[in-house]
């Protein structure tokens, strides 16, 4: 009996020691490092912050048009396969901050156009990096321009969770609204078009205070990975585009334009 008690005590002590060691290891584990500069892309924070539900119904009640968005993560894209699958429009990451340019931009931007798609470019915003005007000029000069050829969509401002640090980039809601306004005004001065705003409702509410003042000019591209689009940011009564999944066929990020193909073309024409 004494031997059994001694063995039980020793086992308990060993287990307690292991638990303490595990807890100490967890406490001293290094934090996950941020991703490398330039690696940000549309929707990379959606699942972490908003979660992910099911896919929307395959046959939407209103006519909608399938699209995709791509960045350097997709590399050289098989545009012919996407076109054959029913994808008719695309957005391609052009720039990030004030120094990054997508090395696959030409293949993606021209390749989508060459198979017949209506395409546009987007800029991943880093509001803690430089002013909105500076980033809008960088974008417009490096792939984010626009022409009335019926096949080029206005540039999109990708404004969402900061993958490199604090989710609101260290800005108050008023400062964030001012930064976005600076970007939008400069982009319109450069191109003659109002930029599309890509965002997620939860981020917009947190980081802009749910500001409603851009809805009258900028089309909304909302990110939500679920069966319905859900609540929209303040001011917008409807969405123009909806990024509904990051796990779609051929390339992950799939979207629906809220209208038939002629409405996509109308947005391109301005």
| pLDDT tens per residue, range 200-224 | 999 999 999 999 999 999 999 999 9
Q: Is 48 a catalytic residue?
A: no
Is residue 26's pLDDT more than 60? no
Residue in the block written with tokens 């809805």: 215
What one-character DSSP code corresponds to residue 250? S
Q: Lowest-confidence range among 1-15, 125-139, 185-199, 230-244?
A: 1-15
| 16/218: higher pLDDT | 218
Neighbour-count burial for 5-37, b at 16+ CB within 10 Å, e otherwise: eeeeeeeeeeeeeeeeeeeeeeeeeeeeeeeee
| 3/219: higher pLDDT | 219
| 57/157: higher pLDDT | 157
Q: What are the angstrom distances between the C-alpha of 84 and each of 70, 115, 223?
A: 17, 10, 25
Select which of 48, 50, 128, 158 is catalytic.
158
- 35 falls in which pLDDT band (50, 70, 90)? confident
Is residue 12's pLDDT more than 60? no
The contacts of residue 250 (CB under 8 Å, 6+ apart) are 68, 77, 78, 81, 82, 85
Q: Which residues, listed in sequence order, are joined to residue 254 by a DSSP beta bridge?
A: 68, 245
Select which of 50, 96, 160, 194 is catalytic.
160
| pLDDT score recorded for residue 44 | 60
- 49 falls in which pLDDT band (50, 70, 90)? low
| pLDDT score recorded for residue 132 | 98
Q: Is 182 a catalytic residue?
A: no
What is the pLDDT averaged over residues 137-150? 97
When the pLDDT of each residue in the chain is averaged and rounded to a whole number, the result is 88
Q: Is 253 a catalytic residue?
A: no
Is residue 47's pLDDT more than 70? no
| pLDDT score recorded for residue 34 | 77
Select which of 69, 96, 194, 253 is catalytic.
69
Q: What are the angstrom distances between the C-alpha of 96 and each of 31, 125, 137, 250?
A: 24, 6, 12, 24
| 70/2: higher pLDDT | 70
Strands 156-158 and 118-124: parallel
């Amino acid at each position: 009996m004494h031997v059994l008690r001694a063995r039980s005590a020793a086992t308990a002590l060993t287990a307690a020691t292991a638990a303490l060691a595990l807890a100490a290891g967890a406490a001293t584990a290094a934090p996950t490092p941020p991703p490398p500069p330039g690696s940000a892309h549309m929707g990379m924070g959606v699942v972490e912050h908003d979660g992910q539900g099911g896919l929307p119904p395959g046959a939407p009640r209103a006519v909608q048009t399938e699209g995709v968005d791509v960045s350097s993560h997709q590399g050289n894209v098989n545009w012919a396969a996407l076109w054959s699958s029913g994808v008719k429009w695309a957005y391609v990451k052009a720039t990030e901050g004030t120094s990054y340019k997508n090395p696959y931009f030409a293949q993606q931007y021209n390749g989508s156009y060459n198979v017949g798609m209506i395409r546009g470019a987007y800029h991943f915003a880093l509001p803690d990096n430089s002013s909105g005007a500076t980033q809008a000029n960088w974008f417009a000069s490096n792939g984010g321009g626009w022409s009335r050829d019926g096949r080029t969509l206005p540039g999109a401002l990708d404004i969402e969770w900061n993958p490199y640090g604090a989710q609101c980039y260290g800005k108050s809601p008023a400062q964030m609204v001012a930064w976005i306004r600076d970007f939008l005004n400069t982009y319109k001065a450069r191109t003659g078009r109002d930029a599309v705003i890509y965002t997620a409702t939860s981020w917009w509410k947190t980081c802009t205070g749910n500001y409603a003042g851009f809805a009258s000019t900028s089309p909304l591209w909302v990110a939500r990975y679920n069966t319905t689009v859900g609540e929209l940011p303040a001011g917008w009564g409807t969405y123009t585009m909806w990024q509904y999944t990051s796990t779609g066929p051929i390339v992950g990020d799939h979207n629906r334009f809220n209208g038939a193909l002629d409405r996509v073309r109308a947005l391109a024409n301005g």
